[in-house]
Amino acid sequence: MQKQVLFIFNYYKSMAFWSFIVTLAVTIINPELILALSIKLFLIFMLWFMISDRKVRQRLRFYRISGVSNIKFFTVIYLFDGLLTTVFLILIKGFT
């Protein structure tokens, strides 16, 4: 279980920059936590649909090899990204 989570976090590192850009854009437009988490959930669903495409799925093969199910993969990514987004928005709201 711990190895699977480490594989997921290793994959998340490649998405962290884009996730932070989305968080910054939401913060500039409207720094509401519910809006930010809803947008992140929408993006996770978009990633899920992209993975259903055969070519994209072949590029993301390593998380399948490590025995991580789709549900666990997307749940851990969303929870971790949501936690980072929440902490970021709380810190930003603390300074405004």
What residues have CB less than 8 Å from 8, skipping those under 6 apart? 63, 68, 72, 73, 76, 77
Q: Cα–Cα distance between 12 and 40 in angstroms, integer? A: 13
Residue 56 lies in a domain: yes
Q: How does pLDDT run across 42-74, given as a tens digit for each residue?
A: 988 888 887 777 776 666 665 565 677 778 888
Instruction: Name the band, by pLDDT with cuts 50, 70 and 90, for residue 21.
Output: very high
> In degrees rounded to 5, what are phi and psi of residue 14?
-75, -20
Q: How many domains does the chain have?
A: 1
Does residue 34 lie within any of the structural domains? yes
Q: Is the residue at 48 inside a domain?
A: yes
17 lies in some domain: no
Burial of 43 (0-12, 13-18, 19+ CB in 10 A): middle
Average pLDDT, the chain: 83
pTM of the model: 0.79
CA distance 81 to 46: 15
Range of the domain at 32: 2-12+22-95
